[in-house]
Amino acid sequence: MDNDEFVEIRVQNGYDVSDLALLLYNGKEGYHSIYNVITAGTFGFELTSSDDTYDYYVWNAPMNGIQNGAPDGFA
């Protein structure tokens, strides 16, 4: 089982992340499809820190929420 998976995004201070989306992609032969879309504005991307230039947001995936076999990926 996969646990403690997360995705962090870094944006310019003050950038509105509500228009961003994370697309999770199943690259298994015969599938080649997006299996989940996480919209930053509604699915729990939390602002975790900031510095003088950037804001850092994190999405904590549910257990086994991100496929990690080759050639899976995200965009």
pLDDT of residue 55: 96
pLDDT of residue 43: 67
pLDDT of residue 57: 92
Q: What is the pLDDT of residues 32-61, one digit of tens each?
A: 899 888 887 766 788 999 999 999 999 888
Angle at 70 between CA 68 and CA 75, to 5 degrees: 65
Report how far residue 43's alpha carbon sits from residue 11's, in angstroms, rounded to the nearest whole number. 17
Q: What is the pLDDT of residues 2-25, one digit of tens each?
A: 678 888 999 999 999 888 888 988
- Looking only at the bridges linking them, the beta strands covering 33-39 and 21-26 are antiparallel
Q: Residue 1 above 70 pLDDT?
A: no
* Domain residue spans of the chain: 6-69
